Structure 1
Amino acid sequence: MLGEIQLARYRFHCKVITPLQLPAYAGSTLRGVFGHALRQQACLMRARSCDGCTMLAACPYPQLFEPQRLTRPAGAPPLLAPYAIEAAFSSEAAAAQKWHSYRPGENYQFDMVLMTPQAIQQLPLIIASWRQAFGRGLGRGDGQAELLRVELISAEDREEPVPAVHASNLTIPEFSAAEDVLLHLETPLRLEQQGRRIGERELTPGIFLRHLIRRVGFLLGVQRPNLFPLEQVHQLNALADKVQGGERQLQWCDWSRYSTRQKQKMTLGGLVGHWQLQEVPEQLLPFIYLGQWLHVGKECAFGLGKYRWIKASQAGADILYQRV
Structure 2
Amino acid sequence: MIYTVTLNPSIDYVMKVDLFQEGTVNRAQEVMYYPGGKGINVSRVLTRLGVPNTALGFTAGFTGEFIKEKMLEEDIKERFVEVAGKTRINVKLKAESETEINGAGPIVNEEGMELFLRQFARITEGDVVVLAGSIPETMKSTMYVDLIKKCALKNVKVVVDTGGKTLKNILAYKPFLIKPNHHELGDLFGVEIKDRKEAIMYAAKIHEQGVENIIVSLAGDGALLYSSEGVYVAKAPKGEVKNSVGAGDSLVAGFLAGYSISGNVKEALQYGVAAGSATAFSNDLCQKFQVQSLLEKINIEVV
TM-score, with length taken from structure 1: 0.25
More strand by share: 1
> Structure with the greater relative contact order (CA < 8 A, sep ≥ 6): 1 or 2?
1
More helix by share: 2
**Which structure's CA Rg is the greater one?**
1
